[in-house]
Structure 1
Amino acid sequence: MLTRRRADGSLYTRRIATDAKLIQLASVSRTDTLARLSKHDRNHSDYLPSECLVYLLRAAVGDDDLRWFNAICSALMARCALNLRWAVNAGVLRDSEGVREDILSEFTLKISEALHEDPEQLDVFEVAFDLAFAALRTDRIRSEALRQRRQSTFNPQPTDADDDPDRWILALASDDGSDVVGLYGAEYEIFRKSVLAAINRLPAAEQEAISLRLQGWQISSEEADMNSIAKHCGVDERTVRNRIRSGVKRLIELTQAERP
Structure 2
Amino acid sequence: MTKHSITGKTVLIAGGAKNLGGLIARDLAQHGARTLVIHYHSAESEAAARATVQAVQQAGAQAFAFQADLTQPGAVATVFDKTLQATGGLDIAINTVGKVLKKPIADTTDDEYDAMFAINTKVAFQFIREAGKHLNNNGKLLSIVTSLLGAYTPFYSTYAGAKAAVEHFTRAASKELGGRGISVNAIGPGPMDTPFFYGQEEPQAVAYHKSAAALSPFSHTGLTEVEDIVPHVRFMVSDGWWMTGQTILVNGGYTTK
For the aligned pair, the TM-score class normalised by the smaller chain equals: under 0.3
Structure number having the greater strand percentage? 2
Max Rg structure: 1
Structure with the bigger RCO (C-alpha within 8 Å, sep 6+) is 2
Structure number having the greater helix percentage? 1
